[in-house]
Amino acid sequence: MLSRTTKDTVLLSVVCLLASITSVFAECTREGLLAATNSYVASFSAGKSDNLKLASSNFTYQNNKAADIRRGVLSQSHPIGLNTSTADTVACASYTMIISFSSGSNSKPYVTATQIRHSVDGDTSIIASIDIIAATTGSLFFNAQKTLGYIQKENWGVIDTVANRPSRELLKKVGDAYLDMWTDAKAADSIPWGTDCERVEGSQYTRPCGGQLPRGGSSKRNGNRRYVIDEVMGSVDVLCSFDALGNMPDSHEIRVEDGKVKYVHTIYGNLKASCTGNKTDTSCSSSMLKE
Ligand SMILES: *[C@@H]1O[C@H](CO)[C@@H](O)[C@H](O)[C@H]1NC(C)=O
Ligand SMILES: *[C@@H]1O[C@H](CO)[C@@H](O)[C@H](O)[C@H]1NC(C)=O
Ligand SMILES: *[C@@H]1O[C@H](CO)[C@@H](O)[C@H](O)[C@H]1NC(C)=O
């Protein structure tokens, strides 16, 4: 039999162990995540990455490929027209959309989708990875000014009433079903479309957004999905390889209000060259990618 003090010691160790496990899985705070997005937006604007606190020196992805932060979009300054961010306190990650313009003859306008990840110990001051989908002149349906015009009019305020916020499960399901529409004929009808929802794909605008939907047809599932889910904003962003139409890097962000899809934003990273303006390639022109 264990003595009383041994039992106490065992109990104390168990309590300490549980406490340390709890702290390892502590959620990141919304404030911390959004502070990191602010420093990212400032870096993007200035074209300087040295103010970002990074876990390692080479942790960036641009359009689904490992990239050197000193050579990617963060190496040039950008006049910013709009920036919005969402926070995922469970995954310890954030999503930021930036619309920017050219600052001179050497630079380009961009619409970028960025997911920033931190280690799950709750420390948002250090950035573990920056994952950027960057659309620019020549990308599918690209027109930064037009995109800005549509998105500026949208309301992305936080959903104040907790009971009205969509669940994490619903948001994940909607994000997945959206990307499954090209391979699963039933996916489109499984999505709760709002009657006056708006879809902005590149600079292409569709309202209501539940019209002209793909219903299967491709055998290649859109893969490499990375999620940022924010119940407070009612949003899910999924970065992926759009394999159904030929491995395009892209981002789909969806906002759900009152249980229904309200907004969809698609940012297409650079498209495979053969698709640009190619109306004979049916894999490019199918369904939502009609030109
Ligand atoms: C970062 O990664 C890129 C792509 O893999 C590589 O070309 C570059 O040399 C790396 N930079 C550093 C500083 O390691
Ligand atoms: C980003 O957006 C916020 C909120 O609209 C704004 O206050 C801030 O000035 C923007 N940052 C830049 C660098 O434009
Ligand atoms: C358009 O796509 C078709 C089918 O994939 C291909 O055969 C053709 O070469 C492409 N045309 C151009 C101009 O890229």
DSSP conformation letters of 89-156? TTTTEEEEEEEE---STT---EEEEEEEE--TTS-TTSB-EEEEEEEETTSTT--HHHHHHHHHTS--
Task: Provide mean pLDDT across the span 66-74.
Answer: 85
Average pLDDT, the chain: 86
Domains of the chain, earliest start first: 4-151 (3.10.450.50), 162-289 (3.10.450.50)
205 CA to middle of ligand 3, Å?
26
From 218, 247, 274, 285, the mutation candidate for ligand 3 (largest count of ligand atoms within 8 A of CB) is 274
276 CA to middle of ligand 3, Å?
10
Q: Residue 238 corresponds to which amino acid? A: V
207 CA to middle of ligand 1, Å?
42
Tokens standing for 66?
Answer: 């490992």
Predicted pLDDT at 1 = 47
Task: Provide mean pLDDT across the span 60-67.
Answer: 85
Q: Whose CA is nearest to atom 7 of ligand 3?
A: 281
Q: For a pLDDT cut of 70, what percent of the chain falls above it?
A: 82
Q: Is the CB of 246 under 6 A from ligand 3?
A: no
Q: Are strands 204-206 and 223-230 parallel, antiparallel or unpaired?
A: unpaired
Which ligand is in closest contact with the Cα of 61? 1
Q: Whose CA is nearest to atom 10 of ligand 3?
A: 274
The predicted-structure confidence for 161-198, as pLDDT tens digits, reads as follows 999 999 999 999 999 999 999 999 999 999 999 999 99
The predicted-structure confidence for 1-28, as pLDDT tens digits, reads as follows 445 555 555 554 544 444 444 444 567 9
Q: Is the pLDDT of residue 81 over 80?
A: yes
Lowest mean pLDDT among 47-51, 106-110, 201-205, 233-237: 106-110
29 CA to middle of ligand 1, Å?
31
Whole-angstrom Cα Rg for the chain? 21
Q: Is the pLDDT of residue 211 over 90?
A: no
Which ligand is in closest contact with the Cα of 100? 2
Of all atoms in ligand 3, which is nearest to the CA of residue 274?
A: 14
Which has the higher per-residue pLDDT, 266 or 284? 266
Task: Provide mean pLDDT across the span 64-79.
Answer: 87
270 CA to middle of ligand 3, Å?
17
287 CA to middle of ligand 3, Å?
18
Q: Is the pLDDT of residue 149 over 60?
A: yes
Of all atoms in ligand 3, which is nearest to the CA of residue 276?
A: 14
From residue 149, alpha-carbon distances to 56, 70, 103, 205, 262 in Å are: 37, 31, 19, 11, 17
Q: Whose CA is nearest to atom 9 of ligand 3?
A: 274
Going along the chain, which residue ranges are E strands? Answer: 60-62, 65-67, 80-88, 93-100, 110-117, 129-136, 193-201, 204-206, 223-230, 235-242, 248-257, 260-268
Of all atoms in ligand 2, which is nearest to the CA of residue 44?
A: 13
Q: Is the pLDDT of residue 229 over 80?
A: yes
From 41, 44, 82, 148, the mutation candidate for ligand 2 (largest count of ligand atoms within 8 A of CB) is 41
Band (61; pLDDT cuts 50, 70, 90): confident
Q: Whose CA is nearest to atom 1 of ligand 2?
A: 83
